[in-house]
Amino acid sequence: MLTHTGRDEARAVAREIAGALVAHGIVVRMIDREAGDLAITDGVETTDVEADASADCELTLVIGGDGTILRAAEITHESGTPVLGVNLGHVGFLAEAEHDDVASVIDAVVGRRYTVEDRMSIDVRVLRDGEVVTSTFALNEASVEKAARERMIEVVVEVDGRPLSRWGCDGVVCATPTGSTAYNFSAGGPVVWPGVEALLMVPISAHALFARPLVVAPTSVLAVEVLARTGSAGVLWCDGRRAVDLPPGARIEVRRGERPVRLARLHQAPFTDRLVAKFGLPVEGWRGASERRRRGEPT
């Protein structure tokens, strides 16, 4: 179990869930500092090795928002342990349950009544002078951003080994369908249903005539090169959690990840319903086929 221990509500929910699971004979493992923050000692196994915390676990239960779930995705990347999120944040697009669903979450975990959905990730490489200096991954996105607030970053973007365009911009977002409702969404990119296999590339505030969001095949390789001759530097952010400095001349390559991130699901609700609920979209007036049938109207 991973918890955003900085929130009173998250701490209370975590104590409730941990106590209930232990009472049902389920072993709950926690990061030792989080267990200390929650003042939980009875029946909880602790570890101080965060990178390997999910090894041999059936499920990773996350109490927090999307940021905590992204942290869980990082911790479970090697083990492939499914992640079940209980949202105590704001939007919580990656979460499967809300704070008032605690009883049903406990019941589902105890009874193993959940399904597992694989979400496409991306593998990211940073190269300098042709040598790979950093390799990492992301569930939502890898974003190349300007390092200095007062000036743009100059980049050339590439798809499948062929140059596409040069942009002076604030940055470039390379996202997955899962990440299409995150930074990609804020940058003006398209919302892509999770069942669609694709890679997205979206410029941020590009000073260019052609600077459109791109949707490419999942087999494609996206690349962003920080132009050396301009002297502009950048920074790479993966899921907003891991940062790598990009000097002039650095190259970033993004491709489909070898390992998906596994999300546990309690409900099989359509993604459309999730969009409506999370963004509070206005749907008043929609009657649907069943209501029209009840009224004797053609469907």
Catalytic residues, which ones?
66
In angstroms, the CA 206 to CA 65 distance is 30
Backbone phi, psi, residue 107, to 5° = -60, -40
Strand 83-87 and strand 60-64: pairing? parallel
In angstroms, the CA 60 to CA 54 distance is 7
Compute how many other C-beta atoms are within 10 angstroms of the C-beta atom of residue 131. 7
Task: From residue 48, give the alpha-carbon distance in Å to each of 61, 104, 115.
Answer: 17, 30, 29
Longest dimension (CA), the chain: 70
CA 266 from chain centre, in angstroms, equals 18
Amino acid at the residue 122: I
How many helices (H) and strands (E) in the chain?
7, 20
In angstroms, the CA 40 to CA 46 distance is 10
Contact between residue 66 and residue 44 where contact means Cβ atoms under 8 Å apart: no
